[in-house]
Structure 1
Amino acid sequence: MSTQEVLCGTGIDLFYGETPAVRAAGISVCRGEVAAITGQSGSGKSSLLYCLAGVLPVARGEIRFEGRVLGDLDDEELSTLRRERFGFVFQYGELLPELTVEENAALPLRLAGQRKAPALAAAGEVLERLGLANLRDRRPSQVSGGQSQRIAVARALVHRPAVIFADEPTGSLDSSNAASVLDEFLALARSQGTAVLLVTHDHQVAARADSRYTMCDGLLTPQVREVS
Structure 2
Amino acid sequence: MNTSEVLSARDVDLFYGETPAVVNAQISLRKGEVAAITGQSGSGKSSLLYCLAGVLPVSCGEVCFEGRSLGALDDEELSALRRERFGFVFQYGELLPELTVEENTALPLRLAGRRKSDALAAAGEILGRLGLAELRERRPSQVSGGQSQRVAVARALVHRPAVIFADEPTGSLDSSNATAVLEEFLTLARSQGTAVVLVTHDTQVAARADNRYTMCDGTLTAQVREVS
TM bracket, shorter-chain basis: over 0.9
Instruction: Give the drift of 1:99.
Output: 0.1
Structure 2 partner of 1:49: 49
Cα distance in 2 for residues equivalent to 1:174 and 1:193:
28
Structure 1 partner of 2:148: 148
| Paired letter, 1:227 | V
Structure 2 partner of 1:176: 176
Residues 171-199 of structure 1: CA deviation (Å, up to 9, x unaligned): 00000000000000000000000000010
| Paired letter, 1:135 | L
Structure 2 partner of 1:63: 63
Instruction: Give the drift of 1:138.
Output: 0.1
Q: Structure 1: any 5+ residue segments left out of the alignment? A: none
**Residue pairs, 1:14-163, within 5 angstroms:** 14-163=14-163
Instruction: Give the drift of 1:4.
Output: 1.3
| Paired letter, 1:32 | G
| Paired letter, 2:17 | G
Cα distance in 2 for residues equivalent to 1:141 and 1:24:
42
Structure 2 partner of 1:216: 216
Instruction: Give the drift of 1:52.
Output: 0.3
| Paired letter, 2:128 | E
| Paired letter, 1:116 | K
Residues 38-61 of structure 1: CA deviation (Å, up to 9, x unaligned): 000000000000000000011000
Cα distance in 2 for residues equivalent to 1:122 and 1:102:
9
Cα distance in 2 for residues equivalent to 1:184 and 1:151:
11
Cα distance in 2 for residues equivalent to 1:162 and 1:227:
30
Instruction: Give the drift of 1:3.
Output: 1.3
Percent identity among equivalent residues? 83
Instruction: Give the drift of 1:17.
Output: 1.2
Instruction: Give the drift of 1:2.
Output: 2.4
Structure 2 partner of 1:226: 226
Cα distance in 1 for residues equivalent to 2:29 and 2:2:
10
Cα distance in 1 for residues equivalent to 2:56 and 2:155:
22
Structure 2 partner of 1:167: 167
Structure 1 outlier segments of 4+, above 3 Å = none
Question: Aligned with 2:215: secondary structure?
Answer: strand
| Paired letter, 1:181 | V
Cα distance in 1 for residues equivalent to 2:5 and 2:12:
18
TM-score of the two chains, using structure 2 as the length reference: 0.99
| Paired letter, 1:207 | A
| Paired letter, 1:148 | S
Structure 1 partner of 2:192: 192
| Paired letter, 2:59 | A
Q: Is the 8 A contact 1:5 1:29 kept in 2?
A: yes
Aligned residues: 228
Cα distance in 2 for residues equivalent to 1:19 and 1:68:
28
Residues 48-81 of structure 1: CA deviation (Å, up to 9, x unaligned): 0000000001100001100111000000000000
Residues 153-185 of structure 1: CA deviation (Å, up to 9, x unaligned): 000000000000000000000000000000000
Root-mean-square deviation (CA), in Å?
A: 0.4
Cα distance in 1 for residues equivalent to 2:171 and 2:57:
26
Question: Aligned with 2:179: secondary structure?
Answer: helix
